[in-house]
């Protein structure tokens, strides 16, 4: 289609006020129809609308909007996202040293594998959380690569309830993961440093 053809199409609605307002009315109706089809006519998504009608006590009266005209204007298709600010708790004083002591004691018991399996497991399990202790029960102590700790432990990351501690052994440095259960620090994993 040429520029002359486009010009005729654009000039046609402007030929008379009657044509202009007729075209404008059709355009407004098309926009309103598409808004009803695509935008919906509820402020809540279908899942939230069902939950609200199923449980009238789900929305306390205090949470209802005070501006009732807000629902009459073009509602926003989605509610604003509220992102809570999270302030991580700092580790307790001495937490790094306590975590390092447990990691060191566990690694010494873990590396001392020249004893019966039941005795080895009894020694390592007292420093391990119950889930990790259960995993260690199926470990053959002969497969432990280290035989002794060769240096002091070094905490590399200490948080409020968890820590990572590097412990040097004669088979290389291991990373010991420990958690604080509210009473004491317990080992949850031991891996070679990569």
Tens digits of per-residue pLDDT, 76-129? Answer: 455 556 555 554 677 778 889 999 999 999 999 999 988 899 999 999 999 999
The residues that bridge with 102 in the sheet, in sequence order, are none
CA distances from 86 to 89, 91, 115, 134 (A): 9, 15, 47, 34
What span, in angstroms and rounded, lies between the C-alpha atoms of 112 and 167?
14
Could you say which DSSP state residue 185 is in? Answer: E
How much of the chain exceeds pLDDT 70, in percent?
A: 68
Q: Let me know whether 58 and 105 are in one domain.
A: no
Q: Which is more confident, 71 or 181?
A: 181
What span, in angstroms and rounded, lies between the C-alpha atoms of 172 and 193?
8
Q: Let me know whether 114 and 188 are in one domain.
A: yes
Q: Let me know whether 58 and 106 are in one domain.
A: no
Sign of CA dihedral 13, 14, 19, 23: positive
What is the pLDDT confidence band of residue 35, given thresholds at 50, 70 and 90? confident
Q: How many CB atoms lie within 10 A of CB 187?
A: 26
Phi-psi region of 40 (alpha: psi -120 to 50; beta: other; left: phi over 0): left
Q: Let me know whether 60 and 100 are in one domain.
A: no
Q: Let me know whether 166 and 130 are in one domain.
A: yes
How much of the chain exceeds pLDDT 90, in percent?
A: 40
Establish if 182 belongs to a structural domain.
yes
Establish if 82 belongs to a structural domain.
no
Q: Let me know whether 61 and 113 are in one domain.
A: no
Establish if 79 belongs to a structural domain.
no
Q: Let me know whether 184 and 105 are in one domain.
A: yes
Could you give the count of Cα atoms lying within 13 Å of 24 in the half-sphere of its Cβ? 7
What per-residue confidence (pLDDT) applies to 52?
A: 43
Report yes or no: 13 and 26 within 8 Å, Cβ to Cβ. no
What is the pLDDT confidence band of residue 185, given thresholds at 50, 70 and 90? very high
Q: Which domain holds residue 168?
A: 95-192
Is 41 a residue whose pLDDT tops 80?
no
CATH at 152: 3.10.450.540
pLDDT digits (tens, 9 = 90+) for 160-183: 889 999 999 999 999 999 999 888
pTM as predicted: 0.55
Q: Let me know whether 185 and 101 are in one domain.
A: yes
What span, in angstroms and rounded, lies between the C-alpha atoms of 3 and 92?
76
Q: Could you give the number of structural domains in the chain? A: 2
Q: Let me know whether 168 and 105 are in one domain.
A: yes
Establish if 118 belongs to a structural domain.
yes
Q: Let me know whether 111 and 44 are in one domain.
A: no
CA distances from 116 to 31, 33, 43, 131, 150 (A): 81, 80, 68, 22, 23
Highest mean pLDDT among 35-39, 63-67, 163-167: 163-167
Q: Which is more confident, 83 or 17?
A: 17
Domain's final residue, options 56, 71, 86: 71
Q: Let me know whether 108 and 175 are in one domain.
A: yes
């Amino acid at each position: 289609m040429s520029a002359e053809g486009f010009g005729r199409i654009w000039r046609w609605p402007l030929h008379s006020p009657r044509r202009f307002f007729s075209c404008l009315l059709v355009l407004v109706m098309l926009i309103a129809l598409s808004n009803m089809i695509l935008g919906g006519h509820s402020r809540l998504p279908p899942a939230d609308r069902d939950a609200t009608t199923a449980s009238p006590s789900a929305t306390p009266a205090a949470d209802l909007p005070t501006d009732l005209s807000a629902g009459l204007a073009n509602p926003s298709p989605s509610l604003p996202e509220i992102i809570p600010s999270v302030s991580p708790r700092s580790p307790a004083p001495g937490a790094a040293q306590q975590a390092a002591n447990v990691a060191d004691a566990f690694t010494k018991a873990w590396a001392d594998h020249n004893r019966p399996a039941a005795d080895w497991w009894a020694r390592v399990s007292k420093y391990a959380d119950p889930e990790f202790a259960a995993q260690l029960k199926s470990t053959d102590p002969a497969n432990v690569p280290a035989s002794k700790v060769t240096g002091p432990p070094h905490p590399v990351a200490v948080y409020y309830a968890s820590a990572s501690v590097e412990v040097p052994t004669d088979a290389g440095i291991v990373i010991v993961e420990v958690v604080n259960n509210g009473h004491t620090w317990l080992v949850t994993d031991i891996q070679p440093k990569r």
